[in-house]
């Protein structure tokens, strides 16, 4: 019985082995074909990859255009960004009428004015910048130097009123010797109250930098009935020739005889001022007559008119010119005019014209003070009417 069972087991094992061998034979060709198919697919994928690496001329041109567009648009986006920031930071001040004029009614601190039967509205599209020329060769903030020599004085003051709606620029030439109630400080920087002083001394009561500029801004604003002054810039003597030469020199017809300081500066001569000549022309004056500064102010107005005309002409082809000029005098100037502010203003005034009609002078009565120095007292009625013309809009 056991022998029969063993024989049956042997036959069954043999049969199973035969079936397994047959199945393996059946699978081999199929597996080979599958493997071969896989190899074919791999070859196709490699060919596709190689094909992708080869760009057509049309694709290359498209990529070049995209790269160029990015290069062009990035600076444009930066300018737009600075433009928006500049606009937002230029209009911080509010009108606060600081003086009374006979026959004038003031509402909302001077936002609305009634004068000679007419109503005037303060123009909030105007931003003001005070430019100061300081009688120092360089900025020096050393405490010992300041105690001994002071911060300097603002020999020249021009208030620029820029109408950002129309692009018009108006300049008010503010006499350095006009009398104003200036914030004064002692040697230790302690506030000593407001005192009647020549306007140029407001800058001296400071640190030769931002504090001096802000004190001058405050004093000028008081003289001009509280007009808000949003920005300031002071430049030292060294900056004048740099700015002058940056626009290729400035052409003037010489006012007065300055041959004692420069033989080429004969009265009536047409001269293109270069280098130190520009400083000589705008700073030279006689010291004896009380009204000696008036002749110098005439030359300054003439020079600024010619400089502005040339700069505005160049700006039509290059809006970055104001930023370039600012960078050139960065070591010899103090300002709160940021790149965004300048960019915004440049876009607003680039198409504007400028002439002597854009400059306003303040009529003053000139007297000799107790110290022997000239004191300028403005004609308040004429000054107020000038403020209305520059900063207000007649609404009735």
CB 321 within 8 A of CB 314: yes
CB count within 10 Å of CB 74 equals 10
CB of 376 within 8 A of CB of 179? yes
pTM of the predicted model as reported, rounded to 2 decimal places: 0.77
Q: Tell me the per-residue pLDDT of 142-161, one tens digit each, with 9 for 90 and over.
A: 777 777 778 899 999 999 99
The strand pairing partners of 134, in sequence order, are 154
Q: Is 196 helix (H, G, I), strand (E, B) or coil?
A: strand
Say if CB 323 and CB 340 are below 8 A apart.
no
Angle at Cα 61 formed by Cα 57 and Cα 63, nearest 5°? 120
Closest CA to 82 of 345, 350, 328, 314: 345
Place of tokens 């160049």: 314
Q: How far is CA 383 from CA 170, 362, 375, in A?
A: 15, 6, 17
**Coil vs helix vs strand at 73:** helix
φ, ψ dihedrals at 394, nearest 5°: -75, 125
Maximal C-alpha separation, the chain: 153
CB 216 within 8 A of CB 132: yes
Q: List own/partner pairs for 5-11 with CB under 8 A and 24 or more apart.
A: none
pLDDT tens, residue order, the chain (396 aa): 444 444 444 455 455 456 545 554 554 444 444 444 444 455 555 555 555 555 676 666 767 677 666 566 555 555 555 444 555 567 667 788 877 778 899 999 899 999 999 999 999 999 999 999 998 877 766 777 777 778 899 999 999 999 999 999 999 999 999 999 999 998 888 999 999 999 999 999 999 999 999 999 999 999 999 999 999 999 998 899 999 999 999 999 999 999 999 999 999 999 999 999 999 999 987 666 677 788 899 999 999 999 999 999 999 888 889 999 999 999 999 999 998 899 889 989 988 899 999 999 999 999 999 988 899 999 999 999 999 999 999 999
Contacting residues for 233 by C-beta, under 8 A, at least 6 apart: 129, 130, 131, 132, 213, 333, 334, 335, 337
Whole-number pLDDT of residue 243: 96
Per-residue pLDDT of 157-207, as tens digits, reads: 999 999 999 999 999 999 999 999 999 998 888 999 999 999 999 999 999
């Amino acid at each position: 019985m056991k022998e029969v069972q063993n024989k049956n087991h042997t036959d069954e094992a043999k049969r199973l082995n035969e079936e397994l061998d047959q199945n393996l034979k059946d699978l081999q060709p199929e597996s080979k074909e599958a493997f071969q198919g896989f190899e074919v697919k791999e070859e196709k994928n490699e060919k596709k990859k190689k094909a992708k690496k080869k760009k057509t001329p049309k694709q290359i041109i498209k990529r070049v255009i995209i790269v160029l567009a990015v290069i062009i648009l990035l600076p444009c986006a930066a300018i737009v960004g600075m433009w928006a920031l500049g606009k937002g930071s230029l209009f911080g001040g509010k009108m606060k009428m600081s003086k009374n004029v006979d026959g004038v009614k003031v509402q909302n601190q001077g936002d609305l004015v009634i004068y000679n039967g007419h109503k005037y509205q303060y123009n909030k599209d105007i931003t003001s910048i005070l430019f100061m020329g300081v009688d120092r060769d360089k900025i020096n903030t050393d405490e010992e130097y300041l105690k001994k020599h002071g911060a300097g004085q603002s020999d020249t003051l021009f208030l620029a009123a820029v109408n950002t709606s129309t692009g018009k620029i108006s300049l008010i030439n503010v006499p350095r010797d006009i009398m104003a109630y200036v914030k004064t400080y002692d040697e230790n920087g302690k506030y000593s109250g407001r005192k009647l002083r020549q306007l140029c001394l407001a800058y001296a009561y400071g640190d030769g930098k931002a504090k001096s500029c802000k004190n001058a801004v405050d004093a000028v604003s008081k003289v001009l009935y509280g007009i808000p002054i949003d920005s300031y810039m002071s430049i030292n003597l060294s900056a004048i020739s740099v700015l002058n030469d940056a626009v290729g020199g400035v052409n003037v017809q010489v006012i007065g005889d300055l041959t004692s300081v420069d033989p080429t500066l004969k009265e009536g001569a047409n001269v293109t001022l270069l280098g130190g000549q520009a400083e000589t022309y705008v700073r030279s004056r006689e010291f004896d007559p009380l009204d000696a500064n008036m002749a110098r102010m005439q030359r300054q107005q003439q020079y600024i008119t010619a400089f502005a005309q040339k700069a505005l002409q160049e700006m039509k082809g290059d809006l970055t010119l104001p930023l370039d000029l600012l960078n050139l005098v960065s070591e010899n100037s103090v300002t709160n005019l940021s790149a965004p502010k300048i960019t915004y203003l440049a876009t607003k005034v680039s198409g504007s014209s400028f002439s002597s009609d854009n400059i306003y002078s303040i009529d003053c009565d000139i007297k000799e003070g107790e110290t022997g120095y000239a004191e300028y007292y403005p004609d308040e009625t004429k000054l107020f009417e000038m403020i209305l013309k520059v900063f207000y809009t007649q609404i009735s």
